[in-house]
Each structure stands twice: as C-alpha cells, then as structure tokens.
Amino acid sequence: MTKQFVRRSGIALLALASAITALPLSAQVPEATTAALKQIYASRYYAAERFGPARWIEDGKAYTTLEKPADSIGGYDIVRYDSKTGARSILIPAASFIAPGDTVPLSIDNYIWSPDAKQLMIFTNTEKVWRQNTRGDYWVLDRASGALRQLGGKGAPASTMMYAKFSPQGDRVAFVRKGDIYVERLSDGAITRLTTGADSLHVNGMSDWVYEEEFGVRDGFRWSPDGTKIAYYHFDMTGVGTFLMINNTDSLYPFVIPIQYPKVGTTNSAVTAGVVSASGGSTTWFQLPGDPREDYIPYMEWAGKDSVLVQRMNRLQNNDALILVSAATGGTRTIMVETDQAWLDVVDDIDWLKGDKEFIWLSERDGWRHAYAISRATGAARLITPGNFDVMSIAKVDDKGGWLYYDASPDNATQRYLWRTRIDGKGTAERLTPATEVGGHRYTISPDAKYAFHSWSSFDTPGPTELVSLPKHTIERTLAANTELVARAKEAITQPGEFFQVRIADGSTLDGWMIKPKNFDPNKQYPMLMYVYGEPAGTTVQDSWGGSNRLWYQTLADQGYLVASVDNMGTPAPKGRAWRKAVYEQIGVLSSMQQAQAVQTLARTRPYIDSTRVGIWGWSGGGSSTLQAMFRYPEVYSMGMSVAPVPDQRLYDTIYQERYMGLLGPNAEKYDSASPVHQAKGLEGHLLIVHGTGDDNVHYQGTERMINELVKLNKPVEVMVYPNRSHGIREGQGTTLHVYSLLTRYLMTYLPAGSQYTPVP
C-alpha cells in the first residue's frame, strides 16, 4: 500500500514523498556513538591549539600575534616575538584597546600594521554581508602617543566600513562604506570621498556576489606604490537577476533577503575599472577591450607607480589577456594572451622581478602547471620549473635572493611539500620539507624568506605549527604543539587509514583512502560508505588531518562500516592538465561513472566489501555527485545522503558553471543531461537530501525542484530542511551536531552496520 505523509521533527521538516512500503523504524544509534558525536561536534575536546593570527614585521626579523592578557581585563595583547631568539615582548597591551567611555577592550576580528609598524589598525564589531564578506568598525592606535581613534568620522553609523587599508606611507587609510571609497587622513581625521553614486545596484571598491565567490575579489581597490592614486573596480548590477531568500523565523512576519546573483546564461554585472587621485577628482577609466558584461576582470594590481596590470578574461574563460594599463590615460597594451581548449584558472597572485621588468606566471601550456617568468616588454615566457609535475601554488618569490619557493608533490598527488628553485633556471630544484615528515604541509614565509610558519599533519595525525628557518628547515620553536589533540586523536583513531590506487574500467588510475573498523576481519564482509566531492573545486583524497570528519568516519567504521573516498578525473589534483580538464562539458557525468567503476573494482578485488550494501554521501558539489550516483548507478549504491546539492546546473552561478560546462546556448542539451534533476527516474535506493533555506551560494530552490521531480516520478525521498542556515549549515546552537546526528541515524537505518562471514568456496 502506498503511503504519503509529512512528519515534523524539531526545527526541520522531514518529508517522505511516496513510499512503496512503510519505512522501518529509525535505527537506534548506539549510546557510545551518540556520545562520540557530541564530543566531536558539540565540545572542544578535539580543538586545536590557537596560534595567531600572526603577522610578519621588520621584514621577517620578528612577528606578532594575539594572546590573552595575564590579567582578567579581556581582549588581546599584541605580542612580538623575535624570529631568531624567540624573545617575547608585549608591544601593545589589551588595555590600550579600551575605547573612550568603555571599561573593556575592543574585540579584535582582524588587525593590520601600518608599513612602518608605528600604527595598528583593528577591525571589530563585524557583521556578515555574505559568504566571506564582512563589514564592521575600524580603529587606529598610534603607538607613540597611545591614542586610539575610531575611523569614519563623528556620528558614522556602526558596522558599515569594509576593506580598510593603510596607504604605503602610513599616513592615510582608504575604506569602502555603502559602496563608495573614502580616504581618511590620520593626522587630523579629514575624510575625502573619492567616488559617488553607489546604491543597491552600483558599487565601487568592492565586488558583487559572484566575483567574490568565484574569483576571490573582495577588497576591490588598490593603493598605488607612491600613495597618490587608487585603482578600483566599479560594478553595475543593473539587469542581474535578484534572488530572493525568505526568512520565516526571525520576525512575526517573513521578510525577504535580496541578492544579485547571475545564474547560468543570464546577465552578469558590467564590471569596469579605473584610477582616481587619492585626494579626489575624476576617474580615469581603463580602456579595456571587450564587453564589460560578457568579459571578466578577475585580477588587478599595480605594476609600478604609473601602470596597472589586469587580467581580461572572456566569458567562456578560455582566453586570458594580460594587459598593462596606463594610470594617466587609461590606455592599454596587451603583454600576452593565455588560451586553453577547456578553461583557464585565474592566476590571483602575481609577483614582479628585476624592478618590475618580469613577473611570475603559472601556466599549463605544456601540460603541467609550471611557473614562468614573463617579460613585461615582450611577453616572452621563460620556464622556471621544468618537469612532469604540477606547481600547486607559489609560496614565496625571493627576488633579492634569486629563489622561487613553491608547493609540489611530484611523486604522490595526495601530499604537499615545500620546494625551491633558482629563478634564473640554473641548478636543480630542491625539496625543503624533510623526507621524514610525510603528509600535507602549509607555509607562510617571511618577507626576507629566512623563516616560515609551518603547519603539517598526516591523514591519521594532527600536527604542530612551528617556526622553521629556511632553507635548512630547522625548527626554531614550536608555536602550537597540539600535544593534547594528538593524544586524543591517537586514542580515537583505532585503525590507521589506508591509501590506495584503483585502476578502473576506463583505464584511469584513481587515488583513494579507506578506513576500517577497529576489529576488522578480512574474512567478513562489511557495508561501505563512500565520501565524494568529484568536482573541479576540490579534492577529498589528501594525506592531511581531516579534523572532525576524520573522527566521525572512524566512529562510523568502529560500528562496522568501511568508509572510503576516491578522487575522479576533473578534481584539482596535481596530476597534470589532462587529468583536471577531462571533465570539461561533462560535470557529473564523467565523475559519477568513474566513482561507480571505482566501487565496482574495489568490491571485485576486496572480498570484505559487501557490494550489496554501498552508500554514498557528500556536501555541495559532493551533494550533487551523490544525486548523480544514486540516479545513474542504482545497481551500485543502495543509499545516499546529499547535503546542499545543485540538482540543476542551470541554477548555479555563471562563472563557476560556465567555466566547466561552456556557455548555455550551444550546450543546453549538455547542461540538461549533466543535471541530476533530469536523471531522477533512475532512483531505486534510499535518499536523504539536506539543505539550509538561507543558503546564498547553492540555493534551496534547487532542492525544491528536485523534490518536485521525485514526487512527479513517485520516488521516495526524505528531506531535512534547516531554516535560514547558509551553505555550511552551521548557524544556531546545536546545528552541526544535529546535522551529523541525522546523517549517522539515516546511515544506520538504511545501510545497517555489521559484518558477516564471506562464504568459503
């Protein structure tokens, strides 16, 4: 008998659309598992030690960080450490940040030193705008006089300032307020407004939603090196579709939150850029080629005091022109043009060499991501990092010393190490990370390239943060030992994770990891949960500490599960251009095929995997991949949990989706065939979809369309809705614990834990 019913549970709605038979009662989650979830997601039991935020000063001879004061005054001291000796001194005590009329120090969300370190600016009283974007209040402390002054002028509305930056001379601060740029002179507080005309659809010195999310453009203005001018972005969002999010819970009557959000195939903002005098006046606009709505400006930075270097990318994102713009006239000269048959990744950090005669550029032109020195005069490229490997990122350009520091792992795509090579191309590249420290490494190198903040870990072990001296990689001191976390993680990780490679039916070799139960018996069979992302924005198979999720996976494994993950082609692993761009125009199609083939190969070669009990889960792009898996390969997966998915690729933003799928017009059929919503007829197993209604990134709209399609097809689905939660579904007390408790309960209900003996032939 077919039943349809709606059931309420706490703050969320659990909707079951047409079940052929009545659902079994939800599995009883073992008490020990419930306790472990609380420990992982609702306590600080596994919290890492705090270090930072740290700032290099004195060209790297010292650094500063925030530390709680010895007394109970609250706030933070700004503490200086000598890089060589470790000598500690309090540069600015917390009491210095007590505003006039207050008794406790201001909170510090961020802090910025002036170029000469004589003044310190703090960011406080912050409010979220969207995603990573925040606004708040800025205060400047003069170290000599001890004077603490709020920027923005008397009577300025609270929490309205963004992106404040000292001038190179340290005598002024530029900031954005309500979409316009201002400069404040620190000597007397005089404020000059540089731009006008901002409103809800026109902004200066900042970006729209999609540029922030996909190009990382947040602070949309740049001081010239001599402090006389400011280059800035102007966004005209007229014609960009307005997405309306509805808040039903925070007031008596619902209210609407509008966001200008360009979906695939729709109108983009018209983005222009120009230069204005820091003392005010008219703007000299850049005379860039192309259509400001159809082309992008993903990067802009000064190239000396008279020129600005910009990247001008077409909407298809397969043509990126490096253009030098005259600050005086706005006239342009194209230095070079990078092209690709698929797409190009934006180079978002360009360093200059030889007094601005060359700059460092990352390119895949020879099939691998390499660093090149590009001539400013001719555009000629000189290869710096030859070899069949990828430069993951540039860690530091030491022009004075003649070294390029970069992250790479030529022999193992799941790991990450620090290397350096001569910028002139002479000599042999050398790995600086010790061979004994296997895993993933992160470095923040000092301006003089003599020291680095170094954090490292491996899949099963959280690691320390240290100060190391370069190039010998000598540990000068431990900044955060994480001794307690390491010990607790060691106790929780009852089985070491296994890294493997699996060769699948289409001939590809994929990297993967697997976590097994603490009492694993190879003569038994176990259900397996696959964790997936599968899209070009991230990888899942990394030999580094996975934090809360690593602990959750072990908790599940110890209940009788295998937990595994593989990275399909198209994920951004350091395995060459062909690997990464194989997914072009087939997002979700290639990945789901390779993921399913990996499961089938693993089950065939590892008898302890019960191929009749395989589940899959993922978040965001991984949520989309989960839907693809459940709909396209029902013979492989019997259960799936999809969190914050994109069921219809037409509903996501222009920059991301068009980058990997091409433009909608000529590729409409490919968009439809690659969207899970059009494959829903294949669903046979149990499916849970989880989404936040306040998700400004991946809109809940898509999940509602997905539900409608499943209802139309009479397919069962369970849906958990979190009111007003964003893409991370973390706002509100108890939310994160609730999400992972839900996932655990659903897994145990529809993919019951436990092992059985493999039949003996």
- Could you tell me the pLDDT band of residue 73, with boundaries at 50, 70 and 90? confident
pTM over the 0.85 mark: yes
| pLDDT single digits (tens) 355-381 | 899 999 999 999 999 999 999 999 999
| pLDDT single digits (tens) 99-112 | 998 999 999 999 99
* 452 within 8 A of 477, measured Cβ to Cβ: no
Rounded to whole angstroms, the Cα distance separating 105 from 100 reads: 10
The whole-number pLDDT of residue 758 equals: 52
The CA radius of gyration of the chain, in Å to the nearest whole number, is 27
Beta partners for residue 90, in sequence order: 79
SS3 label, residue 195: coil
End-to-end CA distance of the chain: 41
What is the dihedral angle through the alpha carbons of 224, 228, 231, 236, rounded to the nearest 10 degrees?
160
Question: Could you identify the residue written with the tokens 């004994």?
Answer: 436
Question: What domains can you pick out in the chain, each with its CATH number?
Answer: 197-338 (no CATH), 349-492 (2.120.10.30), 493-750 (3.40.50.1820)
| pLDDT single digits (tens) 328-344 | 999 999 999 999 999 99
The yes-or-no verdict on residue 524 having pLDDT over 50 is yes
The yes-or-no verdict on residue 298 having pLDDT over 70 is yes
% pLDDT > 70, the chain? 95
SS3 label, residue 253: coil
Rounded to whole angstroms, the Cα distance separating 155 from 167 reads: 24
The whole-number pLDDT of residue 132 equals: 67
Mean pLDDT of 620-643: 98
For residue 739, give the nearest of 1, 3, 37, 33 by alpha carbon: 37
